[in-house]
Chain A
Amino acid sequence: GNSVTQMEGPVTLSEEAFLTINCTYTATGYPSLFWYVQYPGEGLQLLLKATKADDKGSNKGFEATYRKETTSFHLEKGSVQVSDSAVYFCALRSGGSNYKLTFGKGTLLTVNP
């Protein structure tokens, strides 16, 4: 079956530091990959996505590249802000009519001023 393995948290960084949150997956076929973000006390927001190999998703300074050869979708940001403090979830969706999202366990990021 499908699975997503995410870097264990929590991750604590200083403002303007470089961020990487690792995500690897196991799936059959050609899944779509997603990063969602959950700010304190809120629901999930779609951060970025990629639907095929070598695609790069980007949003709000965050980037992730779909690497089929390493089955990875690592999230990066060059300079984090205090407002980026949140829980980040990596997820995959199998292709076609299989709508089910498989989530990683989430990574708590805290950015200190």
Chain B
Amino acid sequence: SAVISQKPSRDICQRGTSLTIQCQVDSQVTMMFWYRQQPGQSLTLIATANQGSEATYESGFVIDKFPISRPNLTFSTLTVSNMSPEDSSIYLCSVEALTDTQYFGPGTRLTVL
């Protein structure tokens, strides 16, 4: 399985600011994903991070709010823009290797005041 790290592990931010979350994998992977887990809830897929092209967003998520970069096969960033308290969540990246199994990073715990 892949080893995935995320930075920062947690942050407390002010309303109206933006935060960029980094996801690093220890091996090259084709598929990388970003999820949101709101307090006490299950996981919701935000988007698929595509290497060399624009991310593919799920219904209800837009690029202006959650811009994503994927400059290579081991790294991706998710930015949460113009934050409000409703954005307080855990944000997780995941990767899928050849085994059709997704592995998750440790998550970034975001609190917006």
Contacts and interface: CB of A to CB of B under 8 A. Distances in A.
B101 A43 contact: no
Contact of A101 (B1, B41, B102): B102
Interface string B29-43: 001010000000111
A104 B96 contact: no
A43 B96 contact: no
Nearest to B10: A41
Contacts of B1: 46
Given A36-B104, A44-B104, A106 B31 contact: no
Interface string B89-110: 0101010100011111111000
A47 B102 CA distance: 12
Contacts of B104: 36, 43-46
A34 interface: yes
Contacts of B19: none
Contacts of B94: 44
A77 interface: no
Contacts, number: 47
B107 A43 contact: yes
A89 interface: yes
Nearest to A106: B42
Contacts of B90: 43
Interface of A: 32, 34, 36, 42-46, 49, 51, 89, 93, 99-101, 103-106
22 contacts: A32-B101, A34-B101, A42-B106, A42-B107, A43-B6, A43-B104, A43-B107, A44-B43, A45-B104, A46-B1, A46-B101, A46-B103, A49-B101, A93-B100, A93-B102, A99-B96, A99-B102, A101-B43, A101-B45, A105-B41, A105-B42, A106-B42
